[in-house]
Amino acid sequence: MSTPSLPDGVAWTAVLVAAQRAAESMAAEPAFRDPLAEVTLVHLGLTRPGQAPRWDDMPGGMAGLTRLMGDMVILRTLYNDRLLTDLPVEQIVLLGAGLDGRAYRLPWAGRRIFELDRRAILALKEDVARAAGLEQTAERTPVVADLAEDWPAALLAEGFDPSRPTGWVAEGLTIFLNRAELELLLTRVGELSAPGSHLGIEVATPLRRALSDAEAADDGVSRVLSLLGSGPPTPPHDWLAGHGWRLAVRTLTELAEQYGRPVPQWFDTSRGGATLWYFDCAR
């Protein structure tokens, strides 16, 4: 069987962050295991079974990116796992789900997880999970959607119930969208959020400004920079509150302290890095 090709465009970033979760998963004392991430790398021919990713051998410049991103993906995974697990909700919506493996790794029986993303990445996930015989730990419903377009109809058609509270998550998404797209996205999420809903959303200050010219010229970094949209207004507190949410927030630096990990270089504000906020928005 030939090795499937890597997705291109922004879908490639879903492989990048899944690879970072796979590396954690295979570490000596992992903070979590992510079987979907592990088998995805093998499926794509990026590593062998039981072998952690070797960044210098990974295609598309993942090594430089991973150096700069440090444990950012691990920290946000831990933070949003806790947030979502503690919510008394039966429906979860992953906005820009990519290769998020929560439906295969968290003990969420009785919960329904709607995964919104573009067709190609959802199809890859389907193929990987089926080929590896992965068992779901929650009911998973993929929803093919462009989040910059009219996605609520597709979500409702799959059985999403707007009269019940929801746990929404937007991880690694807002940086790729433009201001007007984000305005519409937040308006729609708000319209579909019954009282008791929460939105876990990640927002960064402009990423390019936090890099030296040499760092920005790295293959993988320049690839990501070329995909960025204008993003939300920063600081985003007033914008989110203006959409009717009560905010609790942590910075990545605070999460690094909480979980005992080094502050990732790209987001080390004491050295001119970008600020990265993790909001728990409640209604």
Ligand X SMILES: C[S@@+](CC[C@H](N)C(=O)[O-])C[C@H]1O[C@@H](n2cnc3c(N)ncnc32)[C@H](O)[C@@H]1O
Interface positions with ligand X (CB under 6 A):
10-11, 13-14, 17-18, 96-100, 117-118, 121, 145-148, 171-173, 176
In the complex, the smallest distance separating the C-beta of residue 280 from ligand X, rounded to whole angstroms, is 16
The answer to whether the CB of 274 falls within 8 A of the CB of 282 is no
- Residue number, 179 or 271, with CB nearest to ligand X: 179
Cβ proximity to ligand X: between 2 and 226 the closer is: 226
Point out the residue whose Cβ comes nearest to ligand X.
Answer: 98
Q: How far is the CB of 177 from ligand X (least distance, A)?
A: 6
CB of 195 to ligand X, least distance (A): 26
Contacts 24+ apart (CB under 8 A), 146-150: 146/118, 147/95, 147/96, 147/116, 147/173, 147/177, 147/181, 147/185, 148/177, 148/178, 148/181, 148/184, 148/185
Query: CB-wise, 126 or 238, nearer to ligand X?
Result: 126
Our CB check for ligand X shows the closer of 184 and 194 to be 184
Spatial neighbors of 74 by CB under 8 A, at least 6 apart, are 20, 21, 24, 31, 259, 261
Min dist CB 99 to ligand X, Å, is 6
Q: Report the alpha-carbon distance of residue 237 to residue 264 in Å, rounded.
A: 23
Q: How far is the CB of 270 from ligand X (least distance, A)?
A: 25
Closer of 181 and 218 to ligand X (Cβ)? 181
- 159 — phi, psi (to 5°)? 105, 10
Residue with tokens 């959409």: 243
